[in-house]
Amino acid sequence: MSWEDNLRKISPYVAGEQPKIKGRIIKLNTNECPYPPSPDVARALKELDPSDLRLYPDPEYTDIRLALSEVYSVPSNRIFVGVGSDDVLATSFMAFFNGQRPVVFPDVTYSFYRVWCGLFRVPYRLIPLDSDLKIDPDDYKGEWGGILFPNPNAPTGVLMGLDRVEELVKSHPECVVICDEAYIDFGGESALSLTDRYENLLVVQTTSKSRSLAGLRVGWAFGSEKLISCLSDVRNSFNSYTMNRPAIACSAAAIRDVESLKRNTGMVIKTRERIASALSEMGFDMPESSANFVFCGRKGTSAQDLFKALRNDGIFVRYFPGDRTGERLRVSIGTDEDMDEFLKFLGNYKGD
């Protein structure tokens, strides 16, 4: 027997490429917001005292939780904060998914869910999206060890209405239901209000997308006091100092600036609708998106070949191989100038 026999073998999550190419590039592959964050973030950085960096950060992230409590009218004891929504979700896997029944999530969705199942040895089952790439709560009938889905979904961008989310939560009191709302600010109604009525619902959000702070890695969850307490116990069992002082100060400032949030998301939504219309005129098909990206494909056009051609021209988008995803590209919404260059390329593209 070798020490290698005891290694945990995991197929890791593959993030979108962060280009190292010099010169002009148009980055539409990682769903980052193309606009700067709130100006209050810069002010928060200036007000930081460098000498305070010798001290550990607040392990309770009080400033962030207070900001969220003020903006969303939720008691701070019903808010959990982590290093990006990925940290919140990974902690949730450890806290809530420990039974023998499988956790279920869509077959076309955020690919990190499968990775966490492998890492934490959680049994899981995939529930296929319907023919319109939508999540149908009727397909989730049964008793599960947990239910997890993004809303809007990724990479499709399709939103499930709040009534259908409630239907899913209400019909599954036997398990924790996690609604991953990384993109909710770009066109949907949050399930936050449902956490007042359903003790088993956790709603996860982030500053990475709509608040233009992907570089800080700050996320949170809203839920019942019992769920939040369980998350805190798990995190504090391995590291209670996971977020640094600048991230705490800057994200709290960004969360409080609701006007910047509305302005940036409004510009992205306006551009998204224009691009979706233009792509349709060019023969591309896509589900209606409520996120900051579109999931588009065109009959007779190889998505993989188009992905490579775009990349060779310095335009980065995301391609997901597979039977249900391999005919489309996920294209993040950039500035109007970036998107015009993208459309110009498509207009000239002839393929093989």
Q: How confident is the model at residue 293 (pLDDT cuts 50, 70, 90)?
A: very high
CA distance 205 to 156: 18
Mean pLDDT for the stretch of residues 197-222: 97
Q: Which amino acid is at 229?
A: S
pLDDT at 56: 94
pLDDT at 16: 79
* Burial (0-12, 13-18, 19+ Cβ within 10 Å), 292: buried
Q: Are 208 and 214 in contact (CB under 8 A)?
A: yes
- Asked, colleague to colleague, whether 16-37+259-348 and 39-256 share their fold, the answer is no
Least confident stretch, 23-27, 212-216, 297-301: 23-27
Sign of CA dihedral 113, 118, 120, 125: positive
Q: Which helix (H) or strand (E) holds 247?
A: helix 245-256
Q: How confident is the model over 63-90, as pLDDT tens digits? A: 999 999 999 999 999 999 999 999 999 9
What topology does CATH give the domain 16-37+259-348? Aspartate Aminotransferase, domain 1 (3.90.1150)
Q: How confident is the model over 105-134, as pLDDT tens digits? A: 999 999 999 999 999 999 999 999 999 999
pLDDT at 9: 79
pLDDT at 6 over 80: no
Q: How confident is the model over 148-167, as pLDDT tens digits? A: 999 999 999 999 999 999 99
CA distance 321 to 326: 4
pLDDT at 230: 97
Domain ranges in the chain are: 16-37+259-348, 39-256
Q: Are 21 and 312 in contact (CB under 8 A)?
A: no
pLDDT at 5 over 80: no
pLDDT at 8: 79
pLDDT at 171: 96
CA distance 103 to 255: 32
CA distance 15 to 306: 20
What topology does CATH give the domain 39-256? Aspartate Aminotransferase; domain 2 (3.40.640)
- Of 213, 210, 147, nearest to 182 by C-alpha is 210
- Of 298, 297, 317, nearest to 307 by C-alpha is 317
pLDDT at 241: 79
pLDDT at 14: 78
CA distance 77 to 196: 13
CA distance 233 to 227: 10
Please give the mean pLDDT across all residues of the chain. 95
For strands 329-332 and 293-296, give the pairing.
antiparallel
Q: How confident is the model at residue 352 (pLDDT cuts 50, 70, 90)?
A: low
Percent of the chain with pLDDT over 70: 99
